[in-house]
Amino acid sequence: MQKHGLLDKITGLELSNMRNTSKIAAAAAVVIAGLSLAGAAVALEASQVTIAFADGYTGTDGQFHAWDSRADAMEFRAKHTDKYRAWRHDDPRHKDEK
């Protein structure tokens, strides 16, 4: 009978350790997700953009910059329709429409 009592204690400790490990893993996941969102929150400022296209934008430095992600392009387009052109920057059909 004592062996069974000892097994219960060991099993209880193992379950307790597993719960703590799960809690730590969940907390780490929340921290990592928060850091990812914080990095994603760094958005392109409209004041840095002269004109934007489907494939990137021309910055105030005069250089063309590709979008970091499709989501960035879509967000910029939604917020700044006056500066966005729905074609690629090198589309020959629109070379005079900038």
Q: Which among 29, 38, 41 has a CA at the least distance from the CA of 71?
A: 41
Output the pLDDT for position 94: 85
Per-residue burial over 11-35, b = 16 or more CB atoms within 10 Å of its CB, e = otherwise: eeeeeeeeeeeeeeeeeeeeeeeee
- For the cut 50, the answer to whether the pLDDT of residue 35 exceeds it is no
Residue 11 in this model has a pLDDT that exceeds 90: no
Predicted confidence (pLDDT) per residue in 38-90, tens digit: 444 446 788 999 999 999 999 999 999 999 999 999 999 999 999 999 999 99
